[in-house]
Structure 1
């Protein structure tokens, strides 16, 4: 019965991740045009404008007045800040790294989340987690070898470091995501993620967010729409199924990243990348094979 109950949330999560995969490709184009900082800043503005009426309507329909409580706002603020830095570093690296390769490197996030859950929630790290960590790190090493080998380039190394830094923050984001979904509606989650991204990036926008041209505005609007849809779908799913059930589905993002990178940017998927992602996914799945939940907040 439990597996049957998770069926719809799993399907909704897969759909949300497909939207995120398409959004990454659109944001790569926007980041090339106005830089990662500018793309995130303007996407936040457009996304907040899209979601404000939906969020307000949802609150009126639910009979809720005023702003969310202080405790809920605190979760929104923390995840919003983490998501902003995570996204800017990811798209900074994505401009310098093929999409499939960047997504493969980001797959260490669920594994890091095991250790963050241990630190934040007082859980014990199992031997399987340690073994899985070593296996996943071997996968990262396989991909990184291409950056430091014969195809060495400064931009490639910088992109790799940025993606790995983003993966650490994404792990924290995964721990926060389930908690946020339990406290707020999908519309509220999407609105605050977009609005806080815009607000947090506003101080540097004068210097780092050039005004987009008309074509780039269209790209940013498409990215915002895809991001908002994905956030609402994932928010709905994470409120109805445990994180330990849904987090492994993150690996399907590699399919969308490889497809979008190939179609939109003519990026080939190398054997080195496939070998690396195989080791990373195997390590993460091995580490997560535990009887007790490891990403559930207390």
Structure 2
């Protein structure tokens, strides 16, 4: 009989939902503003929200030993945001999402190499089911994508974002078992914001009042999503939680229906069922493994 890690799985799916809504807002903002500015505003407001959480929970200030690994992880986080935001701006949303769903494969690989996790047969079954679900949902949209809509740099950016996102999540798995959640999210937003700020300043265009609230929403959703992900990754294997990234398509299904009145096709429902099935298989409880210390950088 299956035993599920219900808590981490549900929190991870909730976090993915927050980040999925954020992606939609980023896609909307990219029609008026450059990627560097969007990333800068996302992390500026994200850091503000994270700081409020940090102070409200009376979390102690981190020491240098804590700052160093998070500073190096933030390099990967900043690369992820810039490349993925660029793919959202330059590719059809369906294509960008399809390529982003390769991240669970990289998460499973990095978790095996870096954390010493040994994904079981259920993880590979879940990966196959989830990826098959993505292909079913996207089949028609991808077949109708013309050459004029393809962008070699955008495609490379989407694939690069999947790799760097996977690496950041695996390193998060190591740090989430050691550092308080408010510390992790505050440092992630602050360090990444500093890294992308020069590009944001170079690409700056004055936002309107409504766009300020749009950026605030992006920052709040990003911080909430990463708080959820940090909590979940501190309590379950990275390779198992990585497969839950496929549920972003399910979130997109509900967002499209409620916000835009889009009625899902039968192929979309079949694909969503495969995605959910893979996610449930992936969340089966496994025996805990020893978590080695992971550091990035010198």
Band of TM-score, shorter chain = 0.7 to 0.9
- 2:217 is aligned with 1:241: no
Give the direction of change, closer, same or farther, for the CA distance of 1:264–1:209 in structure 2 (3 Å limit). Answer: farther
Structure 1, unmatched stretches of 5+, are none
- Which residue matches 1:211? 206
Deviation sequence 1:189-225 (CA, Å, 0-9, x none): 2212221221001222222232322121111111111
TM-score calculated relative to the size of structure 2: 0.76
**Aligned CA distance change for structure 1 residues 212 and 171 (closer, same or farther; 3 Å):** same
Going from structure 1 to structure 2, the CA distance change for 1:141 and 1:263 (only over 3 Å counts) comes to closer
Q: Does 1:86 align with 2:80?
A: yes
Matches within 5 A, 1:42-191: 42-58=41-57, 61=58, 64=60, 67-121=61-115, 151-158=145-152, 159-191=154-186
Q: Deviations over 1:211-249 (max 9, x none)?
A: 322121111111111111111122222223333443222
- Distance of 1:175 and 1:248 partners within structure 2: 13
Give the paired residue count: 290
Output the CA distance in 2 between the equivalents of 1:127 and 1:3.
15
Identify the range of structure 1 (244-253 vs 211-220) with the bigger mean alpha-carbon deviation. Answer: 244-253
Taking a change above 3 Å as real, the CA distance of residues 94 and 257 of structure 1, as seen in their structure-2 partners, is: farther
Q: In the alignment, is the contact (CA less than 8 A) between 2:107 and 2:239 conserved in 1?
A: no
What is the CA–CA distance in structure 1 between the aligned matches of 2:263 and 2:34, rounded to whole Å? 23
Q: Check whether the contact 2:3–2:284 (CA below 8 A) recurs between aligned residues.
A: no
CA positional deviation for 1:162: 2.0
Cα distance in 2, alignment partners of residues 287 and 233 from structure 1:
18
Partner of 1:229: 224
Give the aligned partner of residue 18 of structure 1: 17
Offset at 1:88?
Answer: 1.4
TM superposition shift of 1:275: 9.0
2:296 counterpart residue number: none
Q: CA deviation at 1:169?
A: 0.9
**More off after superposition, 171-180 vs 234-243:** 234-243
Distance (whole Å) between structure 2 residues aligned to residue 96 and residue 265 of structure 1: 22
Instruction: Find the aligned partners of 2:262 and 2:202 in 1 and give their Cα distance.
Output: 31
TM-score, normalised via structure 1 length: 0.76
Q: Is the 8 A contact 2:27 2:89 kept in 1?
A: yes
1:40–1:198 Cα contact (<8 Å) kept: yes
Corresponding residue SS for 1:183:
coil
1:138/1:276 contact within 8 Å kept = yes
Q: Does 1:197 align with 2:192?
A: yes
